[in-house]
Structure 1
């Protein structure tokens, strides 16, 4: 038995606290113990809504005999990949040297210095289908460690050397992609559209090919800059959204989307539901003009994932208890009445800083566009919760918190960028200067050092201490990468009038990946969206108002790069704080200032004039 995980800031770790495995949380203590005992380290990485993580736990980590072998020959570390994304990325990169089938659970064997020498994913409790059992793997690794230590060390060193070489060979900065390059990138992505079922699929895909929402790519294709040069991009996104929203991928009861579909026609979902996917799809639906889907996703975020303290939970599990047994998806197969008599799947209540930033921004934009203060209030509540709970004693952001327990894991560049972007959107929706100032502070903290932007405090201290390299380059998978998130936040600050240095920061972050991103749009959707915003002059709308009125309501519905709704007093406060967009924005109430091509038109005070300006 171990109690080392009982007080963790991760439901995933807490769920393993009573395992017979003597788990350590991620940290220097585990590696020090492995060095003292001269044994290898097992690093088991997963997350709380991972189905096969649950399976391996039940089959192996809860088995006393397996635990005995593990405890006798190894130091075992349990890692929540959502709490420690840098650790996850580093060992995924290392695991790629041993298996092409990367995923979770991720099972990595490393030296006491943290260097991987063997890795895999799920291992069954009994050998099957050509796959060794977990106990067979433990025995083989232990035999190699005790009988062929030099070979093991050479393998570990070779992996580290190869990863470092890959990092050093990352592409040098290139010029910002122009509209022609962005249009070509969009067409590259559109060539993979599944015209029969919507979304994207590789050539030769069968009905058994899984389908993912690919939110960052959809957001790139929705970039206003593409509307004239690749008009089919918008139609492609609309088809994908309609297909997903009308398929079992979307829950018919509460409006939330599942992680992915296991079949090409968006059926048979993998039933876990992620905060990141749903926050992103809220933005997709909003810009597609699908208010019904947008409101449904917002309802799921607030009713299911928002926690009593205000922050948004990381995910909802795929499994639940039905008739005394664990059942994957059975709860979601029932209608509202059928669910009412069941215990719903567990929610991973971990409040991840950056992921909350995604939800805060999406809800703020949705509340503004849909004229729904309830959505804006939910975003404000979450922002206040994260800014209070997810801060360490050194006043730096932390990656996550759970039940007022703050994680020791430092916030990543992704966290700083996504939270800053969400706060900037919330400032525009509420007119509250404090959110814009905090967003500026977060971005400045990442830009203050020498060299490439980075999160304050550096990366993971254990990886740094042992010289374990991370992934060679960041990419936008199911959500924006750290560089993409920071670029987007810097651009948002520029739109608010914070100064040219923020546009330059956004451009530099895009230029660092400008050579590879257009050629690989599926992996760089978020970065390409920022590039598309940088490629054309912005459209900003400042609405000066004190109460609900027809002009403000009409202005809220206009699609722009930035719409800010403020009172006259708030406008003066923004201007005094250095947000130049608001300078001189005074006069009658309500008033709309329409700024395009770096020039503001004459202020508008009536609906007819707003319509005459092309809205």
Structure 2
């Protein structure tokens, strides 16, 4: 009997389970209504298409007809792609932390028909391994508790849901609070933010580089904070960033084609977990040196880029070689030999937020290193995402593939990361249209116009965006974009919004930087005096344009435009560009939009941007 419902899913991860002998359903109210009708628990299994241990558990347990029969008889079984539904994943992860600190994917959770988690874990083998029970044992224990100790199940579920609800209400209150006159005192001081470098130095692995022991992650948000601190004059942060990037660049974590793997399983950065995520590589672009950035850009162009210019989510760790599905073998072979084999498959979802992160990284790296192809790649992705995922100034699609658009609603990650990416690209290319699109997204995001998943809303367990060590926060990106718009438009309401969005996260980041480092860079920018640099030059090779590459630092916005583009920006309501088109070439250096005399040479510009 195969009553599996995943065959028509947009998500590649869900479709991977379409042939399981399990009565899989997609996440949604219908699954929980069925559980209420039958009075059975709901198994929710969360993973993603390039997750190795998700593949293993699928082969060992979900492909087993006997396991399928057990699930069909005693449970309602639901599959969730954490990349398609990050809000669901965040809520279930928050609940799972009550049972284990070894969080990851596959995430195995058991919920009441009301949507409340009462037990959770991660990967379970088909037979017991050490202290880890078999998956069938877990199913039997859960069913026994459900039938024999229902009051305990309900009490646990209610307590966990209450804790999640209280945490979410606290976060929401911080986001909607009024801004005190004179700035939000919750924003950490420059000295307090810069003191974080000392914390990171104490946690540095001085033998192998990076932070902590095994496993070792690239941690792009943390490295970007070090880049911000370095640009702000922190020499220790600059040295720590250089050492960390060198460790990644010279280790097995970086593949021969330039792409970076998700993490290394050993402290010395060896034995990678071979999947390659768009977000890791895109995030590193913002801080990588020229050679490292060029390798990453090549990987994005050659492996993750679709014909329309958008980037897909990831490349798998497993491939089929000599008829066997094996992890990592394709990557361990020389490049010439790889070309003769089928490569690991792709998670072909185009995720709006992750593409925004790639647009941003390519724009920053292209401007910093004078690499026009990176900027062109960023533009191609921006055009593709705006065309397919944005309507009338609003993000309407979070995830799409060649099979169509997912019904999963956009999140703050999609709005914030795309807005920030579009603004970075607009400043590099001078295209005011990109900035107009970004402004609409920021206006949406600041107004918090996001649909809450109906199951989570009914259960009261929507957590909002949770901190991550690997991906730049959408909330932080939204704050950074708002701060940039404040400089471009002269509307201080954007700066107020930016401070409100990032203040609490930044304070937490000074205490626990590993999960909140991205907020620290934005806080540093908000605490520094605003500085705006506009270069107007019709000649793309004018030396003034190249002279501002190094001007990027916290609190500074740099734009390069032609006279015609300056007029377009001004007409679109970006007051910084008013009356900037009359001199060509010229550079305008402003502090809180009060500008010095135009600099007409590199020497004059250098004197004003010290």
State the shift of 1:611 in Å. 4.5
Cα pair 2:486 2:492 within 8 Å, conserved: yes
Q: Which residue of 1 aligns with 2:498?
A: 506
When normalised by structure 1's length, the TM-score is: 0.92
The secondary structure found in structure 1 opposite 2:534 is strand
Q: Matched residues in 1 for 2:438 and 2:576: separation?
A: 16
Scaled by the length of structure 2, the TM-score of the pair is 0.93
Task: Please give the residue correspondences for 1:11-410 in structure 2 after superposition, counting only pairs within 5 Å.
Answer: 11-168=12-169, 175-201=186-212, 205=213, 209-224=214-229, 227-228=232-233, 230-252=234-256, 254-285=257-288, 290-391=289-390, 396-403=395-402, 405-410=404-409
Q: Is the 8 A contact 1:2 1:17 kept in 2?
A: no
Contact 1:320–1:327 (8 Å) recurs in 2: yes
* Per-residue Cα deviation, 1:545-568 (whole angstroms, up to 9, x for no partner): 233224145235333233222221
Pairing 1:525-604 to 2, within 5 Å after superposition: 525-560=517-552, 561-596=556-591, 598-604=593-599
Query: 8 Å contact 2:415–2:478 — kept in the other structure?
Result: yes
Cα distance in structure 2, aligned partners of 1:545 and 1:402: 40
3-state SS in 2 of match to 1:564:
strand
CA contact (8 A) 1:480 1:526 kept: yes
Q: 1:612 to 1:158 in 2, by over 3 A?
A: closer
Q: Secondary structure at the match of 2:588?
A: strand
Whether the aligned pair in 1 keeps the contact of 2:197 and 2:236 (CA below 8 Å) is: no
Q: Compute the displacement of 1:196 (Å).
A: 1.8
Once the two structures are overlaid, the 10-residue window that deviates more, 180-189 or 75-84, is 180-189
How many angstroms apart in 1 are the aligned matches of 2:73 and 2:231? 59
Asked whether the equivalents of residues 8 and 405 of structure 1 are also in contact (C-alpha less than 8 Å), the reply is: no
Distance change in 2, residues 1:262/1:353 (3 Å): same
Distance apart, 1:56 and its partner CA: 0.1
Q: Please give the root-mean-square deviation of Cα atoms over the aligned residues, in Å.
A: 2.2
Q: Distance in 2 between matches of 1:25 and 1:549?
A: 54
* One of 477, 485, 494 as aligned partner of 1:493: 485
Residues 259-302 of structure 1, C-alpha deviation per residue, up to 9 Å, x if partnerless? 111111111111111111111111111xxxx2111111111111
- Spell out, residue by residue over 1:466-500, the C-alpha distance to the aligned partner (whole angstroms, 9 max, x if none): 222427x7324211223212111212222333521
Tell me, which stretches of 5 or more residues in structure 1 are unaligned? 449-453
2:285 and 2:364 in contact (8 A); partners too: no
336-345 or 146-155, larger mean C-alpha shift: 146-155
Q: Which has the higher helix share?
A: 2
Q: In the aligned structure 1, how far is the partner of 2:237 from the partner of 2:23? A: 52
In the alignment, the residues of structure 2 paired with residue 404 and residue 497 of structure 1 have an alpha-carbon distance, to the nearest angstrom, of 40
Deviation at 1:233, TM superposition (A): 0.7
Q: Separation in 1 of the partners of 2:608 and 2:356?
A: 34
Identify which of 501, 509, 523 aligns with 1:517: 509
SS in 2 for 1:586: coil
- 1:521 offset after TM fit, Å? 1.4
Kept after mapping to 2: 8 A contact 1:98/1:120: yes
Q: Does 2:460 correspond to 1:467?
A: yes
How far, CA to CA, are the matches of 2:602 and 2:190 in structure 1? 34
**Aligned partners of 2:187 and 2:504 also within 8 Å:** no
Inter-partner Cα distance in structure 1 for 2:229 and 2:431: 27
Aligned equivalents of 1:396, 1:384: Cα separation in 2 = 14
Check conservation: 2:230, 2:236, Cα contact below 8 A. Answer: no
Which residue number in structure 2 is paired with residue 451 of structure 1?
Answer: none
Aligned equivalents of 2:502 and 2:413: distance in 1? 15
Q: Whole-Å Cα distance in 2 between the matches of residues 294 and 225 of structure 1?
A: 18
Q: CA deviation at 1:608?
A: 4.1
Q: Distance in 2 between matches of 1:70 and 1:605?
A: 73
Q: 1:89 to 1:352 in 2, by over 3 A?
A: same
Give the 3-state SS of the residue equivalent to 1:331 in structure 2. Answer: helix
Inter-CA distance 395–536: structure 2 relative to 1 (3 Å threshold): closer
Partner of 2:181: none
Q: 2-side partners of 1:54 and 1:433: how far apart?
A: 45
Q: How many residues align?
A: 596
Structure 2: stretches of 5+ with no match in the other structure:
178-184
Question: Which stretch has the larger CA shift, 497-506 or 349-358?
Answer: 497-506
**Are the equivalent residues in 2 in contact too, given 1:390–1:398 (CA < 8 A)?**
yes
- Residue 168 of structure 1 and its aligned partner are, at CA, apart by 4.8
Structure 1: distance between partners of 2:541 and 2:167: 57
